[in-house]
Amino acid sequence: MERAEEEALARSSQESSGAIGAAVGTLTLLEYSFIIIPARAIHEAQCARPFVPQRSAPGAPAAAATRESIFTVKSIRESAIVMKQSLRLFNQQKGLGYLVGNLAFDIVTQTATVMVSASVMTISAMLLSLSTVQRIAEAEGGNIPRDILDRILVSNPFHVQVASGAIGYGWGGLVSLPLLIARNQLRQSAYRGWRSTIPGARSGLSHSLWALGVGNNCLSAINFYLRNQIIKALGNPYAPPAAPVIPPPAPSVDATPYLAEYGAGIGGFPVPPQTQSQSQPHPQPPQPQPQPHFEPVDQRSFTHKAAYFMLNKLVGLTATGLVGVAHLPVLVLFNRLSLNPGLSYSAAVSDILQTEGWQGFYKGIGWYLLTHSDVLFPYIA
């Protein structure tokens, strides 16, 4: 009776978790379509359109004193209001077809980036840790186990993980660069064919975009790595319990005496009849394997689940803010160069410093935090 109650509770918990997962997935899809995509498009347009400050006189300096800091409470409040109005207006103007098309393009781009990054990172980890492979093979009696990749990634020292990660995500950034440029150009109605998506003399795009694409992909990976490290450093508070423990299978029983007792040998060959002296007690047939013991997957209270969710959002926002110190300037330059053929890296940097000051490299910081911190529904560790 207790077993039946436990299984019923487990099924109920699994159904509840499935319903919650479906609801979160739906909200994630809606958020990405109606918030993340418009936010990125607006941010790209802001970066591509240079800001021209007002000057008091033709010979006056670049009006640095009149530029208000973007980090004041007033600026943040005003930016939030502008962001809300911009999102509503953008969704009204573009329509559902634009959002669905961008969603499909983003799925293709992210899939290609992740596949290339993961594949190259795994190969790099194996090449950089041949001694680890040899040690694992020797421990297994000269055989290479099936889970060799997982064991390598876990047992590798930190410097090997960093090196393999840099190589993998670097190649992922290189391969996905034309797709990212095409996405930016399509969103801003600046697409001129596939040749315009490859930096070089033919497209007029700066060669610096290759380095910026690699930096963008690597810094995005560092963002997620930093989140996981912060959660681990905090001791994984409010985390869901571990998966149910399935009992190990019972040791196999030698069925030869059982077959011999009933006159059929292994392979169908006859077994000589046993003499009285060789007679054994009546053997028992092989016992069936024990069935897994089902337990509830997650019995946390709503308060603990909410605390876990909010903690992940706060950690994501913190990690994005820290990584954004280096990532946001890369994105600003990437967006400006990818949408302005003929503009060089040095000219873009000089223009930003002269017209906007150092704060120009952090233009659209609100959009960046919204699109990269997963502050709403995605990313539940």
Intra-chain end-to-end CA distance of the chain, in Å: 36
d(CA 345, CA 208): 6
Bigger pLDDT: 210 vs 54: 210
pLDDT at 56 over 50: no
Higher pLDDT, 153 or 197: 197
Range in 40-54, 85-99, 280-294 with the lowest mean pLDDT: 280-294
Mean pLDDT of 45-56: 59
pLDDT of the residue at 374:
76
What average pLDDT does the segment 165-186 reach? 91
Looking at residue 196, the DSSP 8-state letter turns out to be G
- pLDDT above 90 (res 33): no
Q: Supply the pLDDT for residue 372.
A: 87
pLDDT at 256 over 60: no
> For 16-41, what is the mean pLDDT?
78
For 234-271, where are the alpha helices, taking DSSP H only? 256-261
Listed range (276-290, 319-333, 352-366) with the worst mean pLDDT: 276-290
* CB distance 232 to 311 below 8 Å: no
Q: Which residue has the higher pLDDT, 301 or 174?
A: 174
Rounded-to-integer distance, Cα 171 and Cα 144, Å? 28
Residue 160 banded pLDDT, cuts 50, 70, 90: confident
Mean pLDDT for all residues in the chain: 76
Q: Do 26 and 330 touch, CB atoms closer than 8 A? A: no
Predicted local distance difference test score (pLDDT) of residue 53: 42
Q: How far apart are CA 71 and CA 274, in angstroms?
A: 92
Q: In terms of Cα–Cα distance, which of 33, 42, 45 is closest to 102?
A: 33
- Between CA 16 and CA 25 the distance in angstroms is 14
Name the least confident of 232-236, 244-248, 363-367, 377-381.
Answer: 377-381
- Contact call for residues 362 and 328 (beta carbons, < 8 A): yes
Lowest-confidence region among 77-81, 103-107, 223-227: 77-81
pLDDT at 62: 44
Lowest-pLDDT range of 72-86, 138-152, 264-278: 264-278
Predicted pLDDT of residue 218: 93
Q: How confident is the model at residue 57 (pLDDT cuts 50, 70, 90)?
A: very low
Grouping H, G, I as helix, E, B as strand and the rest as coil, residue 328 is helix
**Helix 148-155 crosses helix 130-139 at what angle (to 10 degrees)?**
120
Spatial separation of the C-alpha atoms in residues 187 and 46, rounded to whole Å: 13
> What are the CA-CA distances from residue 362 to residues 178, 329, 331, 352 (Å)?
24, 6, 9, 10
Average pLDDT in the 92-115 region?
88
pLDDT of residue 77: 82
Q: What's the pLDDT at 96?
A: 85
Least confident of 113-117, 272-276, 296-300, 346-350: 272-276
Identify the pLDDT of residue 11: 60
Please choose, from the candidates 246, 275, 245, 248, the residue with its C-alpha nearest in 3D space to the C-alpha of residue 260.
Answer: 275
Is the confidence at residue 332, as pLDDT, over 70? yes
* In the chain, % of residues over pLDDT 90: 19
